[in-house]
Structure 1
Amino acid sequence: MTLHNTAVLIRRAGIGSFVGIVSILLIVILVRVGISIKNSLYPPIKDPPTQTFGVLSPIQFPKSVVDNNFTYTLRTLSGELPTDFPDRLSVFPIVKNQPNFLNLDRVKKNVASIGFVSQDGTVLPDTPLTNPFYEWNEQKDFYRKIIFNINSFDFKMTSSYLSSLTVLSAKFISNEQDAINVALYFLNLMGLTPNDIDLTKTTTQDNPAHYVTYPELYSIKSEAQGNILVTADKLSQTQVIRVDLYQRDVEYDMNTGLTEGADQKLHLKLPILYPQLPYSTMSFWVASGPSGAMVTQAFFTHKNIDLTNADATYGIKTPEEAFAELEGGKAYIATYWGSDNNIPVTDVYLAYYLTEDTQDYLMPIYVFEGKNGFFAFVSAIQ
């Protein structure tokens, strides 16, 4: 075979390959167009959401942190609202602890384990409040006060730590990881450490998820009205470290309602968000105690979620409908530290919402995120 013949064959092979590739692309395009036309003329059969729990009461958001008349501009990566959200999401029941005559005895052991005891080691006397709340008061050191819900085992502990010379000395404050360990040990002493905590949300510095926070550093500043916490820039200035714990993302396979095809199940993984971002409802203030670092203040509300079944589905608003509610002033503004009334919305996503208040179901929300710490929530259920 001559060199000329070889060149001709190579050119023909190249042309053939090109024609083959173009043919394949045309076939793929034609198939997709055909499927699109078929779906528009004969939409896939889709069952409606199950609405297993009947009509749900709407989410009761707290009062927004600001009540400005905002205007909004989409500044997402695409410049548009998401187009790939499902038309439904699963709703999960919150597990309710039943009242029990033994609960008060259990809580007495809890408060005794963290030092609410008299000199002889017996638990301090309790003060009954409005059922199911009980209070214990410590008359030494930081004068701690703890109020327990003896049904849910949620609690709030406060103290006079801001004026304590022991706290001001910062003798036993070391770093953020040690503060996390102190907070976990505090919960472990009472046997209240939840099994659905995602510690990586607390331990990750510079987390790209802006709705969580690495432990925050504070120093104590003296003012005429009393001592207050102010943000500290470095550990050498720190007297108090705040630690927040977060629950794991909700991950499940949801029935899409389609009766045939490969898309009958959709895998979802959505975060749980709380009312006062970037904080949770499980917060601990760690400072120097008489003999080591200790929790001087804590607010703990944790809800157990029954995630065993994702079949309870409810229709959700479209992104356009949720954005219209945001523009209409019907969203809950969770946080914003800016001054501009025009908010560039940089991200839109779905999440679940948990509050400190009584809640029967874990329900989804739309989250609109913007600059200067802007977060707005819109209930997603139609």
Structure 2
Amino acid sequence: MTLHNTAVLIRRAGIGSFVGIVSILLIVILVRVGISIKNSLYPPIKDPPTQTFGVLSPIQFPKSVVDNNFTYTLRTLSGELPTDFPDRLSVFPIVKNQPNFLNLDRVKKNVASIGFVSQDGTVLPDTPLTNPFYEWNEQKDFYRKIIFNINSFDFKMTSSYLSSLTVLSAKFISNEQDAINVALYFLNLMGLTPNDIDLTKTTTQDNPEHYVTYPQLYSIKNEAQGNILVTADKLSQTQVIRVDLYQRDVEYDMNTGLTEGADQKLHLKLPILYPQLPYSTMSFWVASGPSGAMVTQAFFTHKNIDLTNADATYGIKTPEEAFAELEGGKAYIATYWGSDNNIPVTDVYLAYYLTEDTQDYLMPIYVFEGKNGFFAFVSAIQ
């Protein structure tokens, strides 16, 4: 075969390949156009959301951190609101702990395990508050006080650690990972470590998710009204480390309502957000104690979510409807440290919301994120 013949064959093969590729592209385009025309003329049959739990009470957000009259400009990557959100999302029940006569005994063991004991090792006396709350007070060292909900096992522990010489010395403060370990050990002693915690949200230093935080460093500053916490720039200046724990993203396959085709199920993975971003409702302040690092203050509220069934679906607002509520001043502003009243919205996404207050269901929200720590929530349920 001559070089001329070889060149001709190669040229013909190239032309044939080009024609084949163009033909395939044309077929794909024609199929998509055909499907689009079919769907516009004969929309796919779609069942309505199940609304398994009946009419849901609306989410009760706290008071916004600011009440400015904001204006909003879309600055998302596309310059527009998302177009690929589903028309429904699943709602999940919150597991309620039932009152039990043995709960108080269990909580007494919990507080004893973290040192609320007398010199002979017996648990300190409790003070009944409004049911179901009980209080224990320590009369030494940091003068810790802990208030327990004996039904939910949530608690708040405070102390006078800001004026403690052992805390000010920072002798046993080392680094963020050690502080995380101290917080986890504190929970483990009481047997209260949740099984749905995602530690990577806490341990990732440069986490791209702005709704989580790496442990925060603080030093103690003396003011006329008393000692206060101020942000520390480095570990050598640190006397207190704040650790927040976060629950795993909610991941499930949802029935879309379509009765035929490949889109009957939609895989979703949405984060759980809390009222005071970027913090959670499980926070621990770690500082130097008499013999080592210890938790000197803690606020712990954790809700168990029943994720076994994703079939309870509810219709949600469109992004346009949620954005209109934001513009109309009907959103909850969770955080903002800027001064400009014009907010560039850089991201819009769906999430689930958990609060410290009584809550029957895990319900979805729209999240509008902007510069200078701006986060706004709008209830997603129609």
TM-score class, shorter-chain normalisation, is over 0.9
Aligned partners of 1:114, 1:12: CA distance in 2, in Å?
A: 82
Aligned partners of 1:291, 1:340: CA distance in 2, in Å?
A: 47
Aligned partners of 2:323, 2:376: CA distance in 1, in Å?
A: 10
Deviation at 1:23, TM superposition (A): 1.7
Q: Which moved more, 1:4-13 or 1:245-254?
A: 4-13
Counterpart in the other structure of 2:76 = 76
Cα deviations by residue, 1:275-330 (Å, 9 ceiling, x for unpaired): 00000000000000011110000000000000000000000011111111111111
Counterpart in the other structure of 2:32 = 32
Counterpart in the other structure of 1:259 = 259
Deviation at 1:26, TM superposition (A): 1.1
The answer for unaligned runs of 5 or more in structure 1 is none
Aligned partners of 2:181, 2:11: CA distance in 1, in Å?
A: 70
Aligned partners of 1:11, 1:122: CA distance in 2, in Å?
A: 93
Aligned partners of 1:59, 1:190: CA distance in 2, in Å?
A: 31
Q: Which moved more, 1:217-226 or 1:74-83?
A: 74-83
Aligned partners of 1:10, 1:165: CA distance in 2, in Å?
A: 85
Cα deviations by residue, 1:39-71 (Å, 9 ceiling, x for unpaired): 010011111000000000000000000011111
Aligned partners of 2:136, 2:4: CA distance in 1, in Å?
A: 99
Cα deviations by residue, 1:81-105 (Å, 9 ceiling, x for unpaired): 1111111000000000000001011
Aligned partners of 2:128, 2:10: CA distance in 1, in Å?
A: 93
Cα deviations by residue, 1:251-282 (Å, 9 ceiling, x for unpaired): 11111111111111111110000000000000
Matched residues, number = 382
Deviation at 1:217, TM superposition (A): 0.3
Aligned partners of 2:29, 2:72: CA distance in 1, in Å?
A: 38
Aligned partners of 2:160, 2:303: CA distance in 1, in Å?
A: 28
Aligned partners of 1:332, 1:203: CA distance in 2, in Å?
A: 28
Aligned CA RMSD, in angstroms, stands at: 0.9
Task: Please state whether the residue corresponding to 2:89 is helix, strand or coil.
Answer: strand
Aligned partners of 2:237, 2:292: CA distance in 1, in Å?
A: 18
**Where do residues 130-279 of structure 1 align in structure 2 (5 Å cutoff)?**
130-279=130-279
Aligned partners of 2:105, 2:6: CA distance in 1, in Å?
A: 94
Aligned partners of 2:375, 2:130: CA distance in 1, in Å?
A: 34
Task: Please state whether the residue corresponding to 1:277 is helix, strand or coil.
Answer: coil
Aligned partners of 1:175, 1:6: CA distance in 2, in Å?
A: 70
Task: Please state whether the residue corresponding to 2:218 is helix, strand or coil.
Answer: strand
Deviation at 1:6, TM superposition (A): 3.7
Aligned partners of 1:90, 1:330: CA distance in 2, in Å?
A: 23
Aligned partners of 2:18, 2:168: CA distance in 1, in Å?
A: 77
Identity over aligned pairs, percent: 99
Aligned partners of 2:212, 2:306: CA distance in 1, in Å?
A: 23
Cα deviations by residue, 1:330-382 (Å, 9 ceiling, x for unpaired): 10000000111111111111000000000000000000111111100000000
Task: Please state whether the residue corresponding to 2:124 is helix, strand or coil.
Answer: coil
Deviation at 1:9, TM superposition (A): 3.5
Cα deviations by residue, 1:26-49 (Å, 9 ceiling, x for unpaired): 111111000000001001111100
Cα deviations by residue, 1:107-150 (Å, 9 ceiling, x for unpaired): 01111111111111111111111000000111111010000000
Task: Please state whether the residue corresponding to 1:11 is helix, strand or coil.
Answer: helix
Deviation at 1:4, TM superposition (A): 3.6
Task: Please state whether the residue corresponding to 2:251 is helix, strand or coil.
Answer: strand
**Where do residues 12-23 of structure 1 align in structure 2 (5 Å cutoff)?**
12-23=12-23
Task: Please state whether the residue corresponding to 1:68 is helix, strand or coil.
Answer: coil
Task: Please state whether the residue corresponding to 2:352 is helix, strand or coil.
Answer: strand
Q: Which TM-score applies when normalising by structure 2? A: 0.99
Aligned partners of 2:280, 2:138: CA distance in 1, in Å?
A: 27
Cα deviations by residue, 1:193-231 (Å, 9 ceiling, x for unpaired): 000000000000010000000000000000000000000
Deviation at 1:72, TM superposition (A): 0.8
Aligned partners of 2:13, 2:160: CA distance in 1, in Å?
A: 85
Deviation at 1:25, TM superposition (A): 1.2
Counterpart in the other structure of 2:45 = 45
Task: Please state whether the residue corresponding to 1:266 is helix, strand or coil.
Answer: strand
Counterpart in the other structure of 1:88 = 88
Deviation at 1:2, TM superposition (A): 4.3
Q: Which moved more, 1:172-181 or 1:20-29?
A: 20-29
Aligned partners of 1:198, 1:192: CA distance in 2, in Å?
A: 15
Aligned partners of 1:159, 1:269: CA distance in 2, in Å?
A: 38
Task: Please state whether the residue corresponding to 1:184 is helix, strand or coil.
Answer: helix
Task: Please state whether the residue corresponding to 2:378 is helix, strand or coil.
Answer: strand
Aligned partners of 1:324, 1:142: CA distance in 2, in Å?
A: 50
The answer for unaligned runs of 5 or more in structure 2 is none
Aligned partners of 1:368, 1:192: CA distance in 2, in Å?
A: 33
Aligned partners of 2:97, 2:122: CA distance in 1, in Å?
A: 27
